[in-house]
Structures are given as structure tokens and as C-alpha cells.
Amino acid sequence: MAARRAWRECARALKTELHALYLAYRDPRTPWYAKLFAAGVLAYAFSPLDLIPDPIPVLGQLDDLVLVPLGIALALRMIPPAVMADCRARAGEAARARPTSRVAAAVVVGLWLLLAGMAVALVQRLLV
């Protein structure tokens, strides 16, 4: 259970760092070369395309586990520390202020279940 909690904290930290990197990319105090590299890292992190496709066992996942954190680390070194401190503070505030709504989640799940039921009914009608 402690390992799961540690992984969740690591994932939250990575998410916050990615948001801080995005904010630094948009900050006018960030040098152009750092903006260019940060844009590449962010695009690769959120892109469905990988250098090594995920279906390739082990290497596909290692690609994401190594390249994305390495790219983030390099981009963070290019950005001035004062800019990153401001961006981390803003990203942390945004993470704490992010609203969560169980009602909205229930509505989305309900819509998906409704669509799945309609798809099953359509397939049954076509088969009979």
C-alpha cells in the first residue's frame, strides 16, 4: 500500500512539473531555446506517437519512463531558476484549486453506459 501511495505522489509531482514547464514555456522571461526545447518535450509527453511503439515489450514503456523525465530535467536546467520557482508556485496553486465533481463524473459515466447500451441494442437489432 505504501508503494502505491509513493507512485501516486510521484505521478502528481510529474503532473505538476509538466504544468510548471508549460507555464515556463509561456513566460516571456524564458529564453527562446528553452521554449523550443520545452515545447518539444511537452509535445512528446502528450503525443500518442512514440519513438519506440508501446506494443514492443519493455522497450515501449521504457521509452516513456526514460525520455519524458530526461527531457523534463533538461528543459528545467535551461529555464532560469527564478522563472521556474514562479511557475512551480502557480502550478501548485492550480493543482490545489482544481475542482472535482462527483456529480459530473457520474453524468459522464452514465452517458457512456447509455451509449454502450444503445450500441448493444443496435448490434442485436442488426443480427436478428
Of the pLDDT bands very low, low, confident and very high (cuts 50, 70, 90), residue 98 is low
Q: 91 and 128: one domain?
A: no
User: Which of 14, 32, 42, 46 lies closest to 79, judged by CA?
Assistant: 32
Say what the pTM is.
Answer: 0.62
With cut-offs at 50, 70 and 90, classify the pLDDT of residue 127.
confident
Same domain? 55 vs 6: yes
Q: What is the mean pLDDT of the chain?
A: 85
Are 117 and 79 part of one and the same domain? no
Question: Domain count of the chain?
Answer: 2
> How is residue 53 written as a grid cell?
511503439
Average pLDDT of the segment spanning 39-45: 85
Q: 87 and 48 in one domain?
A: yes
Q: Does residue 85 carry a pLDDT above 90? A: yes
Has residue 53 got a pLDDT over 80?
Answer: no
Please indicate, yes or no, whether residues 84 and 118 belong to a single structural domain of this protein.
no
pLDDT for residue 34: 93
Domain that holds residue 53: 2-97
Same domain as 57, residue 106:
no
Residue partners of 62: CB distance under 8 A and separation at least 6: 52
> Do both 71 and 12 map to the same domain?
yes
Confidence of residue 35 (pLDDT cuts 50, 70, 90): very high
Query: Are 75 and 123 part of one and the same domain?
Result: no
Residues 115 and 52 in one domain: no
Q: Which residues, at least 6 apart from 20, have a Cβ–Cβ distance to it below 8 Å?
A: 84, 87, 88, 90, 91
